[in-house]
Homo-oligomer: A and B are copies of this chain.
Amino acid sequence: MRPQSVQVPEDDDDNPISEIRRAIDAEDGSALLSIAETVHYADLASLYEELEDDERDFFFKTIGPELATDVVAELPFSLIEDSLSHFKPAQLRFLLGNLSDDDRVDIFQVVSKEAQVRFFSLLGPRDKELTKSLLKYEEDTAGGRMTTQVGRITPDMTVKQALAILRRDREDTETLARIFVVDEQGRLEGKVRLRDLAFNTWDTPIRDIMEDADEYILATEDQEDAARLLSRYDLVVLPVVDEFHHLLGVITYDDALEIMQEESTEDIEKLAGIAGDQTELSYLNTTSVMHYRRRVMWLVGLAFVSIASGYVMFRFGGVLQKAYVLSLFLPMVVASGGNAGGQAATMVIRALALGEIGAGTAIRIAWKEARIGIFLGITLGLSIAAFISFILPQFHPPAPESFSFYKLALAVACAITLQVVSATVLGAMLPITARAIKLDPAVVSAPSLASIVDVSGMLIYFGTAAAILSL
Which residues does A use to contact B, with CB under 8 Å?
A: 1-2, 4-11, 40, 42, 163, 166-167, 170, 175-177, 194-195, 197-199, 212, 214-218, 221, 225, 228-234, 236, 253-254, 256-258, 260-261, 264-265, 267-269, 271-274, 282-284, 288-289, 291-292, 295-296, 298-300, 302-304, 306-307, 309-311, 313-314, 317, 321, 324-325, 327-332, 334-336, 338-340, 342-343, 345-348, 350-351, 354-361, 364-365, 368, 371-372, 375-376, 379-380, 383-384, 387, 397, 416, 420, 446-447, 450-451, 454, 458
Chain B residues, Cβ within 8 Å of A274: 343, 346-347
Chain B's closest residue to A256 (CB) is B257
Chain B residues, Cβ within 8 Å of A288: 368, 371-372, 375
Known: A260-B257, A283-B357, A296-B379. A269 touches B331 (CB 8 A): no
| Complex CA–CA separation, A250 to B311 (angstroms) | 61
Chain B residues, Cβ within 8 Å of A40: 214-215, 233
- B231 close to A454 (CB less than 8 A): no
Closest CB pairs A-B (n = 10): A283-B351, A272-B346, A264-B264, A309-B331, A306-B332, A310-B328, A282-B356, A253-B253, A234-B254, A198-B198
Q: How many copies of this chain sit in the oligomeric assembly?
A: 2
Chain B's closest residue to A197 (CB) is B198
Q: Nearest Cβ distance between residue A323 and chain B, in whole angstroms?
A: 11
Given contacts A273-B343, A298-B343, A299-B339, 14 further A-B contacts (CB under 8 A): A4-B217, A167-B199, A194-B195, A231-B254, A231-B261, A268-B350, A269-B350, A274-B343, A295-B340, A296-B376, A302-B335, A303-B339, A321-B321, A331-B458
Most buried by B among A194, A282, A380, A397: A194
Q: Nearest Cβ distance between residue A350 and chain B, in whole angstroms?
A: 5
Chain B's closest residue to A227 (CB) is B257
Chain B residues, Cβ within 8 Å of A1: 212, 214
Chain B's closest residue to A45 (CB) is B232
Chain B residues, Cβ within 8 Å of A360: 10-11
Chain B's closest residue to A349 (CB) is B268
Chain B residues, Cβ within 8 Å of A254: 231, 234, 253
Selected from B218, B347, B447, the residue in CB contact (under 8 A) with A338 is B447
- B177 close to A199 (CB less than 8 A): no
- A311 close to B283 (CB less than 8 A): no
Chain B residues, Cβ within 8 Å of A371: 288
Chain B residues, Cβ within 8 Å of A446: 272, 342, 446
Q: Nearest Cβ distance between residue A319 and chain B, in whole angstroms?
A: 12
- A2 close to B283 (CB less than 8 A): no
- A258 close to B272 (CB less than 8 A): no
- A361 close to B284 (CB less than 8 A): yes
| Complex CA–CA separation, A310 to B291 (angstroms) | 33
Chain B's closest residue to A1 (CB) is B214
- A324 close to B314 (CB less than 8 A): yes
- B365 close to A284 (CB less than 8 A): yes
A-B contact pairs, 21 of them (CB 8 A): A1-B214, A9-B358, A166-B195, A170-B199, A253-B253, A253-B257, A265-B350, A267-B268, A271-B271, A272-B342, A272-B345, A284-B351, A299-B343, A299-B379, A300-B383, A304-B383, A307-B331, A310-B328, A317-B327, A331-B454, A335-B447
Chain B residues, Cβ within 8 Å of A42: 232-234
- A303 close to B416 (CB less than 8 A): yes
- B358 close to A10 (CB less than 8 A): yes
Chain B's closest residue to A285 (CB) is B356
- A313 close to B296 (CB less than 8 A): no
| Complex CA–CA separation, A274 to B343 (angstroms) | 7
Most buried by B among A254, A335, A342: A335
| Complex CA–CA separation, A291 to B458 (angstroms) | 27
Q: Nearest Cβ distance between residue A368 and chain B, in whole angstroms?
A: 6
Q: Nearest Cβ distance between residue A392 and chain B, in whole angstroms?
A: 9
- B324 close to A317 (CB less than 8 A): yes
Chain B's closest residue to A427 (CB) is B272
Q: Nearest Cβ distance between residue A139 and chain B, in whole angstroms?
A: 20
Selected from B8, B339, B372, B384, the residue in CB contact (under 8 A) with A291 is B372
- B253 close to A236 (CB less than 8 A): yes
Selected from B198, B283, B368, the residue in CB contact (under 8 A) with A163 is B198
| Complex CA–CA separation, A348 to B283 (angstroms) | 8
Chain B residues, Cβ within 8 Å of A271: 268, 271-272, 346
